[in-house]
């Protein structure tokens, strides 16, 4: 008991003055965050609030770069993605221990058990104790003319993001045959005039894939009155821009497109939802040795920690199966909390040694238990339930 109380008394001074962690050069950080989308910014915010020294490096190729407005993010519904990021950066920049820089990280490597080395394309070199991979996903668009040009502005990926602006409009569904019928169930509350453009994929082989992926697709076609158009698409042409023709008050955008087929015929649609694949936007995570699950970085979806000790994966890039801004922010915050606790524990262990103290060998409490018991709930009440159920098993 006496030892515990003396430890408690020492904690603030010992940890804050960090006698164990050597004075750090300017390029050494507690945490380097790679990627400045909502997940990386959120991780940085969480670290800023507890005065961790952190650097965010961002190459600015945001997944929603081209989209007109951010939706389904409470408090920010309808703002432009650029405003959303600017506002986040303004707020985060008020915290002196964190900084943000433009750059493309070309390599993250582990120097030893407690240090990462981070290099960017301009040759800047940084070290850090922890690293957050927040590099996002990249959408693979077909090369059909008109698709890349209109991506995110009439040709969309997620109904939550952009469906409401095109409610009750003639809708097209684009994608490999096995991907598009699942979309029907998602958009049914938004639009009922649906054409699935299967682009010549309704071959015997294609139908076999479809039957496996979506065994009830024929019922979906009947119940939701989906028309199937198997003509081969040659181009998609914009004939009206919903960025110009719209009604802000009612949140409606009036895009119009002509789908041109290789036989010279056309079909008119107001907007499209798609089922195209995506890949990791960067390979710095996998090059570091983080595993993959499908196209996602393998991690513990409770803490965001990866198989590489000290490296975390967040946002669209991680494997927890959700890709949207609120989720990206949640996962960044989650990593920040786990990182802060992990570093607090490491510093605490160092401080115990530095102070010439030692815990009794038969003390049933681990360092992290002891930390959590005294300061854990104050750190982050949000994770209290988890702290009691899971972290208490941490040794």
Ligand X SMILES: Cc1cc2nc3c(=O)[nH]c(=O)nc-3n(C[C@H](O)[C@H](O)[C@H](O)COP(=O)(O)OP(=O)(O)OC[C@H]3O[C@@H](n4cnc5c(N)ncnc54)[C@H](O)[C@@H]3O)c2cc1C
Q: Which residues contact 82 (CB under 8 A, 6 or more apart)?
A: none
Placement of tokens 């994929």 in the chain: 201
Binding to ligand NAG by residue 395, rule CB under 6 A? no
**Smaller CB distance to ligand X: residue 7 or 118?**
118
- Segment 23 to 62, residues that bind ligand X, using CB under 6 A: 34-40, 57-62
Instruction: Tell me the C-alpha distance between 115 and 122, whole Å.
Output: 21
Exactly one of 9, 65, 66, 111 binds ligand NAG (CB under 6 A); that residue is 111
> Choosing among ligand NAG, ligand X, none, which partner's interface includes residue 311 (Cβ < 5 to 8 Å by kind)?
none
Tell me which of ligand X, ligand NAG, none is bound by residue 144, counting a contact when its beta carbon lies within the kind-specific cut-off of 5 to 8 angstroms: ligand NAG
Determine if 199 is a binding residue for ligand X (CB under 6 A).
Answer: no
210: how many CB neighbours lie within 10 A of its CB? 21
Interface mask (CB under 6 A) for ligand NAG, residues 172-191, using x and -?
--x-----------------
Q: How far is the CB of 303 from ligand NAG (least distance, A)?
A: 5
In the bound state with ligand X, the residue whose beta carbon lies nearer, of 68 and 368, is: 68
Judge whether 214 and 181 are in contact, CB under 8 Å: yes
Phi and psi based region of residue 146 (left: phi greater than 0; alpha: psi -120 to 50; beta: remaining): left
Task: Note whether 142 binds ligand NAG by CB under 6 A.
Answer: yes
The span from the CA of 9 to the CA of 45, in Å, is 29
Q: State which of residues 202, 209, 267, 355 lies at the interface with ligand NAG (CB under 6 A).
A: 202
Query: C-beta of 295: minimal distance to ligand NAG in Å?
Result: 19
The helix or strand, by DSSP H or E, that contains position 11, with its residue range, turns out to be helix 2-17
Site string for ligand X, 63-82 (x = CB under 6 A): xx--x--xxxx---------
* Residue 127 makes contact with ligand X by CB under 6 A: no
**Coil, strand or helix at 31:** strand
Map residues 318-357 to x or -, x wherever contact with ligand X holds by CB under 6 A. -----xxxx-x-----------------------------
Structure tokens at 9: 């008394």
SS3 content of the chain, % helix, strand, coil (to 5): 35, 25, 40
Task: Establish if 61 lies at the interface with ligand NAG (CB under 6 A).
Answer: no
CB contact set of 215 (below 8 Å; sequence gap of 6+): none
The b-or-e profile of 276-310 (16+ CB within 10 A means b, else e) is: bebebbbebbeebebeeeeebbbbeeebbbbebeb
- The residues that touch ligand X, with contacts defined as CB under 6 A, are 34-40, 57-64, 67, 70-73, 104-105, 134-136, 139, 152, 156-158, 161, 281-282, 284, 315-317, 323-326, 328
- The residues that touch ligand NAG, with contacts defined as CB under 6 A, are 60, 102, 111-115, 127, 142-144, 147, 174, 199-200, 202-203, 230, 232-233, 300, 302-303, 390, 394
């Amino acid at each position: 008991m006496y030892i515990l109380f003396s430890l408690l008394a020492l904690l603030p001074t010992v940890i804050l003055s960090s006698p164990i962690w050597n004075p750090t050069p300017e390029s050494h950080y507690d945490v380097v965050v790679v990627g400045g989308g909502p997940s990386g910014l959120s991780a940085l915010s969480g670290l800023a609030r507890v005065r961790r020294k952190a650097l965010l490096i961002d190459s600015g190729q945001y997944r929603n770069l081209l989209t007109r407005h951010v939706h389904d993010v409470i408090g920010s519904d309808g703002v432009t993605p650029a405003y959303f990021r600017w506002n986040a950066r303004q707020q985060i920049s008020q915290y002196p221990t964190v900084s943000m820089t433009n750059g493309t990280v070309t390599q993250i490597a582990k120097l030893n058990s407690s240090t990462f080395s981070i290099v960017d394309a301009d040759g800047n070199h940084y070290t850090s104790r922890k690293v957050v991979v927040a590099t996002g996903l990249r959408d693979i668009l077909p090369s059909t003319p008109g698709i890349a040009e209109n991506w995110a502005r009439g040709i969309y990926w997620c109904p939550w993001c952009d469906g409401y602006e095109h409610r009750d409009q003639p809708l097209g569904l684009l994608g490999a045959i096995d991907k598009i019928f699942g979309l029907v169930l998602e958009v049914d509350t938004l639009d009922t005039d649906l054409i699935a453009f299967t682009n010549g994929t309704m071959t015997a082989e294609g139908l076999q894939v479809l039957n496996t992926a979506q065994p009830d697709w024929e019922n979906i076609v009947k119940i939701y009155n989906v028309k199937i158009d198997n003509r081969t698409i040659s181009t998609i042409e914009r004939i009206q821009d919903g960025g110009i023709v719209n009604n802000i008050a009612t949140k409606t955008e009036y895009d119009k497109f002509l789908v041109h087929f290789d036989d010279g015929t056309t079909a008119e649609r107001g907007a499209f939802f798609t089922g195209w694949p995506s890949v990791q936007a960067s390979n710095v995570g996998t090059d570091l040795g983080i595993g993959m699950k499908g196209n996602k970085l393998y991690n513990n979806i409770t803490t965001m920690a990866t198989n590489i000790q000290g490296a975390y994966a967040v946002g669209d890039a991680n494997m927890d199966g959700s890709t949207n801004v609120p989720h990206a922010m949640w996962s960044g915050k989650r990593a920040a909390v786990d990182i802060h606790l992990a570093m607090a524990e490491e510093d605490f262990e160092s401080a115990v040694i530095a102070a010439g103290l030692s815990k009794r060998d038969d003390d049933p409490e681990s360092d992290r238990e002891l930390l959590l018991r005294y300061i854990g709930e104050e750190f982050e009440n949000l994770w209290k339930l988890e702290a009691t159920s899971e972290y208490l098993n941490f040794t």
